[in-house]
Amino acid sequence: MNTPTSLHILVIEDDLRMVELLRTGLCEHAHSVVTATTAEQGQQLVDSENFDAIVLDIGLPGRSGYTIAQHLRTRPNRPAIVMLTALNQEDNIVCGLDAGADDYLTKPFSFPELIARLGSAARRARIAATDDFCFGPFRLDTANRRLLCNRIEIHITRSEYLLLRSLALHRGEVVSRRQLMQAVWGTTIISHGALDTLVNTLREKLNAEQLGLITTARGLGYTLVEDADL
Ligand code: CA
């Protein structure tokens, strides 16, 4: 369960015994640790230092841990966030994940599990940070689920994001209607017309018709064309 990569970790936790436990345990696993006991302190640190991961207690005095997750949400190359919450606080977990946390553990937690979750959350954050898709003037920022055109954000819905990501993943190929519907709606049964409507609204937002960006393979699916074909 040990992760071979040494991480620079910020622990934000107000319970001093827990802070020491976390510091000792994480250092034993060759991670470097900085600690904060309030959200304000934590925020100052994330604004001045680069961390690979944050262990974030939700129940902090004053501002809650969510504010940190929200603060970091739109930042490129943001650290992975693993929340710590008290038992049976499902609302907290949902709010925390909505606010941008990557994973959570409920107290009391097992240390090997924390180490494993931190390692994989940091790995995912690194991949997400470098896994943007660029096509024409656009960049699909997968870490923050944003679409930028010449660095200016174009607002797209969750469904439009999932559609575009699926097309971008298979750039230059016809992505089948079934594949696209699965990427956007999962196993929910949806009419075929819904996919065409979604593609059309996305095309409008991207001015894709004029750019020739998304082509139709009639009856089969859609293609995000290669830059060379634009
Ligand atoms: Ca606490």
**Which CATH number is associated with domain 133-229?**
1.10.10.10
Task: Classify residue 184 as exposed, middle or buried by CB count within 10 Å of its CB (0-12, 13-18, 19+).
Answer: buried
Q: Which helix (H) or strand (E) holds 186?
A: none
Domain boundaries, the chain: 8-126, 133-229
The Å distance, Cα 59 to ligand 1 centre, comes to 4
The Å distance, Cα 191 to ligand 1 centre, comes to 47
The Å distance, Cα 83 to ligand 1 centre, comes to 11
The Å distance, Cα 119 to ligand 1 centre, comes to 23
Here the tokens at position 82 are 């693993």
The proportion of the chain whose per-residue pLDDT surpasses 90, expressed as a percent, equals 53
Residues linked to residue 106 through DSSP beta bridges, in sequence order: 85
The Å distance, Cα 53 to ligand 1 centre, comes to 18
User: Among 165, 151, 163, 144, which residue's Cα sits nearest to residue 202?
Assistant: 163
Instruction: Tell me the residue length of the chain.
Output: 230
Question: CB neighbours of 30 closer than 8 A, spacing ≥ 6?
Answer: 6
The Å distance, Cα 14 to ligand 1 centre, comes to 5
Provide the residues around ligand 1 (an ion) whose CB is within 5 A.
14, 57, 59
Least confidently predicted of 15-24, 151-160, 177-186: 177-186
The Å distance, Cα 211 to ligand 1 centre, comes to 52
Task: Classify residue 68 as exposed, middle or buried by CB count within 10 Å of its CB (0-12, 13-18, 19+).
Answer: buried
CA geometry: angle at 106 spanning 92 and 40, to 5°? 60
The Å distance, Cα 3 to ligand 1 centre, comes to 26
pLDDT band at 83 (very low <50, low <70, confident <90, very high): very high
Here the tokens at position 171 are 């750039």
pLDDT band at 138 (very low <50, low <70, confident <90, very high): very high
**Which CATH number is associated with domain 8-126?**
3.40.50.2300
pLDDT tens column, 114-137: 999 999 888 877 766 667 888 888
Whole-number pLDDT of residue 19 = 96
The Å distance, Cα 16 to ligand 1 centre, comes to 9
The Å distance, Cα 60 to ligand 1 centre, comes to 5
The Å distance, Cα 68 to ligand 1 centre, comes to 14
The Å distance, Cα 6 to ligand 1 centre, comes to 26
pLDDT tens column, 192-230: 899 999 999 999 999 877 778 999 999 999 999 987 777
Rg value, the chain, Cα: 21
The Å distance, Cα 8 to ligand 1 centre, comes to 22
The Å distance, Cα 84 to ligand 1 centre, comes to 9
- How far is it, in rounded angstroms, from Cα 102 to Cα 100? 6
Q: Are the C-beta atoms of residues 31 and 59 closer than 8 Å to each other? A: no
User: Among 69, 108, 70, 65, which residue's Cα sits nearest to residue 88?
Assistant: 108
Whole-number pLDDT of residue 127 = 63
Amino acid present at 147: L
Whole-number pLDDT of residue 2 = 41
Neighbours of 137 (CB within 10 A): 15
